[in-house]
Amino acid sequence: MRSSARPLAALLAALTLTAGLFATGAPASARANDPVPAVQASDVSSAADTYDWKNVRIDGGGFVPGIVFNRSEKNLAYARTDIGGAYRWDQAGKQWTPLLDWVDWDHWGWSGVVSLASDSADPDNVYAAVGTYTNSWDPNNGAVLRSSDRGASWKAATLPFKLGGNMPGRGMGERLAVDPNKNSVLYLGAPSGEGLWRSTDSGATWSEVTAFPNPGNYAQDPTDTSGYGNDNQGIVWVTFDERSGGAGSATQDIYVGVADKDNTVYRSTDGGATWSRIAGQPTGYLAHKGVLDSANGYLYLTLSDTGGPYDGGNGRIWRYTTATGEWKDVSPVAEADTYYGFSGLSVDRQDPGTLMATAYSSWWPDTQIFRSTDSGATWTRAWDYSSYPNRTNRFTQDVSSVPWLTWGANPTPPETSPKLGWMTEALEIDPFDSNRMMYGTGATIYGTENLKNWDSGSQFKITPMVKGLEETAVNDLASPPSGAPLLSALGDIGGFRHTDLDAVPDMMFTSPNLTSTTSLDFAESSPSTVVRVGSADAAPHIGFSTDNGSNWFQGSEPAGVTGGGTVAAAADGSGFVWSPEGAGVHRTTGYGSSWSASTGIPAGATVESDRKNPKKFYGYKAGTFYVSTDGGASFTAKASSGLPAEGNVRFKAVPGTEGDVWLAGGSATGAYGLWHSTDSGATFTKLSGVEQADSVGFGKAAAGSSYQTLFVTAKISGVRGVFRSTDAGTTWTRINDDAHQWGWIGASITGDPRIYGRVYLSTNGRGIMYGDASDGDGGGTDPGTDPGTDPGTDPGDPPGDAACSVAYKVTNQWSGGFQADVTLTNTGTQALDSWRLGWTFVDGQKVTQMWNATLAQDGAKVTAASVSWNGRVAPGASVGFGFTGTLTGGNAVPAAFALGDEACSTG
């Protein structure tokens, strides 16, 4: 899938989030048996009300490197993600249940799951090996979590080394395995040269298997000095031959995969006491998976020339006959014809001669899935060329439940949209149902429930099986006072306009398509105007919308831009200030047709806008706050005393009040907390009760209060959590609990200006969370509006005696679309200070983009409103605007136009 950007995005996210976290003490002993205090909710901060937390539905959005079915209980399955925790399949709801939401701020790395194991002897037992990075980005060591109630509660055994759920090679495995005959015995393959580890007490304590001879030697990039690409990927899978043991007796024959191209498979025949390299094995490749068909006595290997999950240029599939020691290359294609590695591998336990494998690193024109019904002697493919570039598919694919999986693409053959996927390192046939198969991609889980159609010559149906699994990394959130309740900026899949929080959006932001959106903003008094910036393979890195994010158009950009950075919209949408990567701070009027460098502010500063004064913008970098009063043309350094000079700092201005700014951030080694300014940053006051804070946002005021509700992710009174204040920060209430912590949640938080108590929260891998309060019926004045004024409308109405004429002209028309210009003339004797022109389409036309006016459309009714630079129209003067639209039939000119409540003449 499109998740080619995920490794970089996750890497950058890690670099960002570790900057402000605590350092840890000495490594924990491998024999530690640490209870997880967060397995049950606790009212640690005297919460005044209970919040109901849900995901804003996106469905998927990240890499699923592992799927594990229990071999003894039907419908019991688990999935692991690289940064977003683990999940259990809920058959009744056909959805996934998250299991690691209790992971707290200090242990955020435990949200990265490198391996899962489900106990076939006792299906209530499940184990997870957790830890996100093996280098310094993750401040904690890894751990093996164990649960005796299918993940409802957990205990942790902390390891004396780190694990890498988001490291290269994370799609290999499974590294963690339970002995199917003696379930108190588990093995864990470690990275970083730490070798093979074993537990004999159901995961409570662990010790190294010192007899194991090879800790691995393969690194993705030995020249990388960051500790990411140059880490030894180590021991990558463990497989038991259950035939060599009996109930209560340890399995004797154990196979282990090692990241070593010359010595990739080892075996023990005495229950792990001694180990040896299997003679005759293939060399020059890494065995991503090792799956045993115990019925026929075959060990299958899927091999690649790299560790994956997104690289791999050649691959093979080999079969080992355990009884005779014979090795055989059973690859479905010649080595010269591969441009990908093999990884995903599964045997049909109902029909063991049937097996499947994936070409995990084939991006163009699609991934490939292979199937054999004769133990690898012959293979068929999910798709073949009929006559190039045309394809014949053995499947149909329906993504209507997650429509954004098409990425809005319309590729030319042999590419299709949607694709079967990419980074397909996990594929599992249900051990109880030969018709059901699931496989993970870089963006989702796909599956089928009529797989055997493959063999009968008819097509099987592939659909997303990902409901409940939310794995986006969230960079920014915005909740406008009108239009969609939420706009999101996400890693890897760009972001969405969320019109229904409980429904999957139709499509991510396009035109431009940004692989990761780093920042977005809307004009406070004109919420239809939205801007977003982010990562892209090439320019542009910025997009604009005039209809609240429904449609977008690309902007130009200053020279040298390499990434999104941060962006801010003027309160009335008249201009924008952008602090991109690769270039200094710039500003533009209009929609970015030209940019000019801002003065007085350093490159890389974070920028925001005042939410009342359209000429005022703010910036921050390295402990200094900057202010512009001329639309971003120039900035002046203001407050710096006592503000954090290091760590992550995020700040926002309060809607509706000029100069009211809240700033959160810092690091444990310097200033850290929450500051407030009421004079546009000339001075800041630190809130004494907030020990640490990382993000701040505003929502609708409580009943009886005129000040917006504050939301922060913070540490208050020694407790880390999500907090709310309805009295401008005088008192705080924790609104999450220990069961709902989601690891690192410091990127963004915002309240809803229309619903009191509602809050939207970013996570780094568990998607967007939103919470509603039990006292959510309350609420005072909407933030940013005067009492009695509808949110998002321009103040004041056109004069009641306004006289006007309108000229409407279709300037261009094509199949399915058109462009029109509108000229409004003031024929009265008084100037118009602002205007709203309305009309009704008679042929079902729909406006898709409007310029020089803000758009609102409800069915056939359209309203175009003035923007800041053209609201005043003198007597006899005219103002023009234009738009593009779509057609389904005719394109009749509207018969009547109205300025406010007054009809205009036409001509």
Dihedrals φ, ψ of 731, to 5°? -130, 155
Continuous segment of H or E residues that includes residue 526: strand 526-535
Closest CA to 509 of 489, 484, 529, 481: 489
Closest CA to 542 of 606, 595, 498, 497: 595
Q: What is the rounded CA–CA span in Å between residue 779 and residue 751? A: 12
**Is 541 within 8 Å of 534 (Cβ atoms)?**
yes
Closest CA to 68 of 545, 431, 328: 431
Dihedrals φ, ψ of 301, to 5°? -125, 130
DSSP-assigned letters across all residues of 206-267: -EE-TT--------S-TT-TTSSTTS---EEEEEE-GGG--TTS--S-EEEEES-TTS-EEE
Question: What does the block give as tokens for 875?
Answer: 């007597």
Note the helical H segments in 290-397: none
For the stretch 691-729, what's the b/e string if a residue is b when 16 or more beta carbons lie within 10 angstroms of its beta carbon? Answer: bbbbbbbbbbbbeebebbbbbbbbbbeebbbbbbbbebb
Count of other CB atoms within 10 angstroms of residue 255: 23
Question: What does the block give as tokens for 348?
Answer: 């049909």
Question: What does the block give as tokens for 223?
Answer: 């020249």
Count CA within 13 A, CB hemisphere, residue 200: 9
Closest CA to 585 of 574, 575, 599: 599
**Is 10 within 8 Å of 143 (Cβ atoms)?**
no
Active site residue 201: no
Q: What is the rounded CA–CA span in Å between residue 866 and residue 880? A: 10
The count of residues in the chain is 907
Q: Which of 492, 572, 752, 794 is catalytic?
A: 492
Closest CA to 870 of 574, 547, 555, 525: 574
Closest CA to 157 of 32, 39, 27: 32
Q: What is the rounded CA–CA span in Å between residue 736 and residue 712? A: 11
Question: What does the block give as tokens for 673?
Answer: 């907390």
Q: What is the rounded CA–CA span in Å between residue 643 and residue 648? A: 12
**Is 157 within 8 Å of 33 (Cβ atoms)?**
yes
At a CB cut-off of 8 Å and minimum separation 6, what does 71 contact?
118, 120, 180, 349, 431
Active site residue 630: no
Distances (CA, A) of 13 to 103, 136, 304, 667, 861: 18, 14, 28, 17, 44
Q: What is the SS3 assignment for 455?
A: helix
Strand partners, 819: 812, 884
Distances (CA, A) of 167 to 224, 612, 824, 899: 13, 45, 59, 60
Distances (CA, A) of 210 to 13, 195, 198, 214: 36, 8, 10, 10
Question: What does the block give as tokens for 762?
Answer: 């970013």
What secondary structure letter does DSSP report for 23? Answer: P
Question: What does the block give as tokens for 43?
Answer: 């009212």
Count CA within 13 A, CB hemisphere, residue 117: 30
Q: Which residues are catalytic?
A: 82, 492
